[in-house]
Amino acid sequence: MSSSDIRSVGYDATAFDADSGELRLIEVRGLASGEGLVALTPNEKRTAEDRRDCYWLYVVTRCKQPEGPKLMTMKNPARFEWREVTKVAHYYLSVDAMTRPMRVREDEAPYGRRE
């Protein structure tokens, strides 16, 4: 199974507690500091909504702090109000625009001359 196949399931890891019978579908995020934003892909959010009973979000904060990391876990992250992120529009440039000679346009008369 390739890594792209694994990501398509909508979570990073599966855990099963043999004693309690609890299944956890776990998505993991990390933050360098103790605060910040975490984001889910559309597929991860959809899976979280579909599997509210067993979907968990593990957020590791303070990953780059001297005091060491801290793990926060939350069951059913779909219950929170997630805000949609809209992608920035793309910009394009034709390759031939870079290879064509530049044209100089003179909209006004050169300095010192009046026509």
What residue spans define the domains of the chain?
A: 3-86
Task: Give 60-114 pLDDT, tens digit per residue.
Answer: 999 999 999 999 999 999 999 999 988 878 888 777 766 766 666 666 666 666 5
Mean pLDDT (whole number) for 3-12: 72
**Do residues 39 and 70 lie in contact, with contact meaning Cβ atoms separated by under 8 Å?**
no
Cα–Cα distance for residue pair 26/108, rounded to 1 Å: 65
Tell me the three state secondary structure of residue 14: strand
Name the residue among 21, 24, 29 with its Cα closest to residue 62.
29
3-state SS record for 56-79: EEEEEECCCCCCCCEEEEEECHHH
Nearest CA-CA partner of 33 in 10, 12, 60, 72: 60
Higher pLDDT, 11 or 5: 11
Token pair listed for 53: 């009973």
- Element of type H or E holding 74: strand 70-75
27, 57 Cβ separation under 8 angstroms: yes
Decide if pLDDT at 4 tops 70. Answer: no
Across the chain, what does the average pLDDT equal? 85
